[in-house]
Structure 1
Amino acid sequence: MTTANDGTLSLQQFLPYRLSALANRISQSLAIKYSKQYGISVQEWRILAVLGEGTKLSAVAITNRIAMDKVAVSRAVKRLIEKGLVIKHLDSKDQRSHELALSNEGIEMYQQLVPIALEHEQQVTDNLTLKEQQSLLKLLSKLDNAPL
């Protein structure tokens, strides 16, 4: 699927490249929508989104959940704390660790950002039928669960 007859790699047919390029393009176009109005980055949005699910998480758990670089998560968390959108609590189970959660302001922002994100997702998937959307999610889950 990814090699030409001469043994070279066709980047446009190489799945890891296509998935990465598409994800970056979608994320960047969404970031444009909320960065001007809300002043947050893609990394900050992803952290708000995962914390918006209502769970308190450590920075390590966030890093694992959103598959983002540890340093990028750390910097984004620091900015979100400085902006008053995230609060840090000492973990009740492990006194050496901290749990992160949305502040009241963070919850408010999250609630304002969700409709923007959902509308953006709809725009991205508008040219797919409902069956194609369901198939896409199923295929992505299969790829996500594949041994690497």
Structure 2
Amino acid sequence: MEKDVLELESFLPYRLYRLAEAVSREFAAVYKDRHGLTRPEWRTLAGLGQHGTMTATALGEQSAMHKTKVSRAVAELERRRWLVRTSDENDRRVEHLTLTRAGLAAYREMVPLAKAFEQELLAKLSAGERGAIAGGLASLEANLASTTG
């Protein structure tokens, strides 16, 4: 193979992207079938379920979603009455987002399904492979965070 040709199938960033996309598509079936949620809506629900009250900006940073995707997801969850917006007392441009009882109930229903999905995925690997992946991902995340943070 020529030195100036990039073989995508063995290029780590491409492989990680394709794997993440495949796993995300598989998991999407769970929340789409259960509640008709899109990926951004699920990520918004999950972020608020985990952290409680957040701003749209914080949700975008936590989930690596563009602000327009966060905005659409927030609008849809609000339409479903799964979240409420509260204006910040000090800065009216900022809104704090919180799940309602119905939103929290949907989140709590999804948690065991998400954990079961993760366990099924991990069960396809040996204990050594699980450890290697966890360690490798943690190392890459730490190194990338130190260069971008």
**TM score, norm. by length of structure 2:** 0.88
Q: Does 1:108 align with 2:105?
A: yes
- Structure 1 unaligned runs (5+)? none
Runs of 4+ in 1 over 4 A off after TM superposition: none
- Structure 2 unaligned runs (5+)? none
For 1:69 and 1:9, the matched residues in 2 are separated by 29
Contact 2:52/2:99, CA 8 A, preserved across alignment: no
Q: Equivalent residue for 2:44? A: 47
| One-letter amino acid of the counterpart of residue 24, structure 2 | S
**TM score, norm. by length of structure 1:** 0.89
Q: Equivalent residue for 1:31? A: 28
Q: Does 1:10 align with 2:29?
A: no
| One-letter amino acid of the counterpart of residue 115, structure 2 | L
For 1:106 and 1:50, the matched residues in 2 are separated by 12
For 1:87 and 1:46, the matched residues in 2 are separated by 16
- Among candidates 69, 72, 87, match of residue 69 of structure 2: 72
Q: Equivalent residue for 2:79? A: 82
For 1:135 and 1:83, the matched residues in 2 are separated by 41
Number of residue pairs matched by the alignment: 145
How big is the shift at 1:93?
Answer: 4.2
CA root-mean-square deviation: 1.6
More helix by share: 2
Q: Equivalent residue for 1:22? A: 19
Q: Percent identity?
A: 33
For 1:131 and 1:52, the matched residues in 2 are separated by 32
